[in-house]
């Protein structure tokens, strides 16, 4: 099977015209009058080709666009790729991330071996150099990503590796750039790892297979350990929620606990964070079965859990100074003679009882056990991430994840991480009114609320299981998937959450 593309990236002091490469990518703002220093210099070497292209209106510098200009004897690059940066006043580090993704995506399609990126001077002053370089590396990983491990007969293959170089004219900046790139590549590759695991279908990844991946990850890292509870241990612990959801499938549920212990003492003075991710390896809806159209998308119902896995990988490789639990309840939700039923009353790990009114509201049934487990492990801060509700997708569309929580500071910190990483979130409520709807007459809670505000009632259900702990919830049902390829990446899993959660933890560890 094919591995994900091997991306190597480093910064070096190289003059534009001396840069020997297959593709030399340079940015251009849509509202810039004339050419900037970098494209101006290239334009002179290319006998005015760039200027002409812009003058003719063939390239306008709009975000998400790019165009190839072929090299000549004046430069060593085979191609110059002009990448649109949009309006200058709207530029953020995410502009750099997206531009790099666009260039990397095109480079893989062109099957080139080397890509050189020149950072537009506008970013040098306005943003932290390290953060900018990090975004660039993340973008390169994002854009070069392909999911083709099961394609055996493709005519449009790709190369196995891409060598990327960030070229800069000032040697004083190289060290800072390389530091940022190093972090960016760790985060970017963790995201690609998450995307591959998520893209694998239900017949390849079931709960036991996911647990094996988590074990493998932990084996490769000194500071990570992994514990897996099988169905017998789940029964012994009284994890009724996970067991109920998993009861319809031959592929039995698992409860995965990763632990990252920072190497330094300073981490002990910081709060311990519990990341909790929903990993339904396939969600058919169970007895409350879903309609068949697009049901295949429900292989992505493990995204939250895998985002936690990817984040743990990044945290370990970055060696962050903060202690983190990665808690991943995993089950397959199928209808059968052994499935849990509508009407069943389940005793969860917390002791609270839940009346099941819809077996398709299974995410909250496994998450409640995991949240209680995080409380029991004494996590000071708990963040869960889940493809929880179609209602969230309807409310926010495909651009932002829903963000709920019981602690203003935590919500703000996640919003900050979202701004840094381009993985956007939008605040939503989950308070008492919503919780009221989740009360059952014959048990403590029921697993669905009324017709309206489904993302909020689902979050209000989860809130009941964190006690007094600081908690936030990310509903990623709308953002986990690209239905179609974009200018920045191919269709399928987006890997949403890895950059966001890692950034949050990096800020906490500072």
22, 63, 301, 420: which one binds ligand BES (CB under 6 A) = 301
Tell me which residue of 169, 176, 196, 195 sits closest to 136, measured CA to CA.
Answer: 176
Residue 390 interacts, among Zn ion, ligand BES, none and using kind-specific CB cut-offs from 5 to 8 Å, with: ligand BES
CA distance 207 to 214: 11
190, 226, 307, 391: which one binds ligand BES (CB under 6 A) = 391
Q: What are phi and psi of 327, to 5 degrees?
A: -115, 120
Residue 165: count other Cβ atoms within 10 Å of its Cβ: 20
Phi/psi class of residue 402: alpha, beta or left (left: φ > 0; alpha: ψ in -120 to 50)? beta
35 touches 49 (CB < 8 A)? no
Burial class (CB in 10 A: 0-12, 13-18, 19+), 390: middle
Our finding on whether 305 is near ligand BES (CB under 6 A) is no
Give whichever of 84 and 478 is closer to Zn ion, judged by the CB atom: 478
Our finding on whether 177 is near ligand BES (CB under 6 A) is no
Give whichever of 94 and 360 is closer to Zn ion, judged by the CB atom: 360
Kindly state the smallest distance separating residue 477's Cβ from Zn ion, in Å: 8
Our finding on whether 440 is near ligand BES (CB under 6 A) is no
Query: Applying CB under 6 A, which part among 182-190, 250-258, 389-397, 425-433 lies near ligand BES?
Result: 389-397
Residues in contact with Zn ion, counted by CB under 5 A, come to a total of: 6
Q: Is 290 a catalytic site residue?
A: yes
Looking at residues 348 to 367 of the shown chain, list those that interact with ligand BES (rule: CB under 6 A). 358, 360-363
DSSP per position, 194-238: HHHHHHS-TTT--HHHHHHHHHHHHHT-TTEEEEEE-HHHHHHHT
Tell me which residue of 408, 389, 410 sits closest to 457, measured CA to CA.
Answer: 389
Q: Which residues contact 73 (CB under 8 A, 6 or more apart)?
A: none
Tell me which residue of 379, 348, 368, 362 sits closest to 258, measured CA to CA.
Answer: 379
> Which residue of the chain is nearest ligand BES when measured via CB?
390
177 touches 128 (CB < 8 A)? no
Kindly state the smallest distance separating residue 335's Cβ from Zn ion, in Å: 12
Q: What are phi and psi of 355, to 5 degrees?
A: -85, 125
Kindly state the smallest distance separating residue 495's Cβ from ligand BES, in Å: 15
Our finding on whether 301 is near Zn ion (CB under 5 A) is yes
Give whichever of 217 and 404 is closer to ligand BES, judged by the CB atom: 404
Q: Which long-range contacts (CB under 8 A, 24 or more apart) does 394-397 make?
A: 395/428, 395/455, 396/426, 396/478, 397/478
Give whichever of 363 and 492 is closer to Zn ion, judged by the CB atom: 363
Our finding on whether 332 is near Zn ion (CB under 5 A) is no
Residue 261 interacts, among ligand BES, Zn ion, none and using kind-specific CB cut-offs from 5 to 8 Å, with: none
Our finding on whether 41 is near ligand BES (CB under 6 A) is no
CA distance 240 to 237: 9
Our finding on whether 283 is near Zn ion (CB under 5 A) is yes
Indicate the angle between helix axes 129-144 and 171-199, nearest 10 degrees.
40
Our finding on whether 286 is near ligand BES (CB under 6 A) is no
Give whichever of 66 and 359 is closer to ligand BES, judged by the CB atom: 359
Our finding on whether 335 is near ligand BES (CB under 6 A) is no
Looking at residues 462 to 501 of the shown chain, list those that interact with ligand BES (rule: CB under 6 A). 477
Catalytic residue among 2, 290, 341, 352: 290
Kindly state the smallest distance separating residue 361's Cβ from ligand BES, in Å: 4
Strands in 246-380 per DSSP E: 254-260, 273-277, 279-283, 324-333, 345-347, 353-355
Indicate the angle between helix axes 303-318 and 171-199, nearest 10 degrees.
150
260 touches 224 (CB < 8 A)? yes
Give whichever of 261 and 357 is closer to ligand BES, judged by the CB atom: 357
Residue 448 interacts, among Zn ion, ligand BES, none and using kind-specific CB cut-offs from 5 to 8 Å, with: ligand BES
Q: Is 111 a catalytic site residue?
A: no
Catalytic residue among 98, 200, 270, 364: 364
53, 448, 500, 509: which one binds ligand BES (CB under 6 A) = 448
Question: For binding to Zn ion (CB under 5 A), which residues are involved?
Answer: 280, 283, 301, 360, 362-363
Question: For binding to ligand BES (CB under 6 A), which residues are involved?
Answer: 283, 301, 358, 360-363, 387, 389-391, 393, 448, 454, 477
Residues catalogued as catalytic: 290, 364
């Amino acid at each position: 099977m094919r591995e994900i593309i091997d991306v190597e990236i480093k910064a070096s002091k190289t003059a534009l015209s001396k840069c020997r490469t297959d593709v030399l990518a340079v940015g251009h703002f849509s509202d810039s009058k004339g050419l900037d220093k970098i494209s101006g210099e290239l334009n002179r070497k290319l006998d005015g080709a760039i200027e002409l292209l812009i003058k003719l209106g063939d390239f306008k510098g709009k975000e998400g666009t790019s165009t190839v200009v072929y090299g000549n004897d004046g430069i060593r690059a085979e191609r110059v790729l002009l990448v649109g940066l949009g309006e200058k006043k709207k530029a953020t580090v995410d502009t750099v991330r997206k531009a790099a993704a666009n260039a990397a995506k095109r480079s893989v399609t062109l099957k080139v071996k080397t890509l050189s990126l020149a950072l537009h001077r506008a970013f040098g002053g306005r943003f932290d150099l390290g953060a900018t370089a990090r975004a660039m590396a993340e973008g390169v990983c994002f854009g070069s990503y392909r999911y083709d491990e099961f394609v055996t007969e493709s005519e449009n293959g790709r190369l196995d590796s891409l060598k990327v170089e960030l070229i800069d004219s000032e040697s004083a900046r190289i060290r800072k750039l390389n530091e940022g790139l190093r972090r960016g590549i760790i985060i970017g590759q963790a995201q690609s790892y998450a995307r591959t695991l998520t893209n694998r279908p239900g017949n390849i990844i079931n709960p036991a297979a996911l647990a094996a991946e988590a074990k493998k990850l932990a084996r490769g890292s000194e500071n990570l350990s992994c514990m897996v509870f099988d169905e017998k241990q789940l029964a012994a612990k009284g994890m009724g929620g996970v067991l109920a959801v998993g009861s319809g499938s031959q592929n039995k549920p698992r409860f995965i606990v990763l632990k990252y212990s920072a190497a330094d003492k300073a981490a002990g003075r910081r709060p311990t964070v519990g990341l909790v991710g929903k990993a339904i390896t396939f969600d058919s809806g169970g007895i409350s079965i879903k309609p068949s159209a697009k049901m295949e998308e429900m292989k992505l119902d493990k995204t939250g859990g895998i985002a936690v896995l990817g984040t743990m990988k990044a945290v370990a490789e970055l060696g962050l100074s903060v202690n983190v639990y990665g808690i991943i309840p995993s089950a397959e939700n199928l209808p059968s003679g052994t499935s849990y039923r509508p009407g069943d009353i389940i005793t969860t790990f917390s002791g609270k009882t839940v009346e099941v009114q819809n077996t398709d509201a299974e995410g909250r049934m496994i998450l409640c056990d995991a949240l209680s487990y995080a409380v029991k492990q004494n996590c000071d801060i708990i963040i869960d991430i889940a493809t929880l509700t179609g209602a969230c997708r309807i409310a926010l569309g495909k651009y932002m994840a829903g963000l709920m929580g019981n602690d203003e500071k935590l919500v703000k910190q996640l919003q900050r991480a979202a701004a840094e990483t381009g993985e956007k979130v939008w605040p939503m409520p989950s308070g008492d009114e919503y919780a009221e709807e989740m009360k059952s007459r014959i048990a403590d809670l029921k697993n669905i609320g009324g017709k309206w505000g489904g993302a909020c009632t689902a979050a209000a259900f989860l809130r009941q299981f964190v006690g007094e702990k600081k908690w936030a919830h990310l509903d990623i049902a709308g953002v986990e998937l690209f239905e179609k390829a974009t200018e920045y990446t191919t269709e399928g899993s987006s890997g949403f959450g890895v950059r966001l959660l890692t950034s949050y933890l990096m800020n906490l560890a500072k």
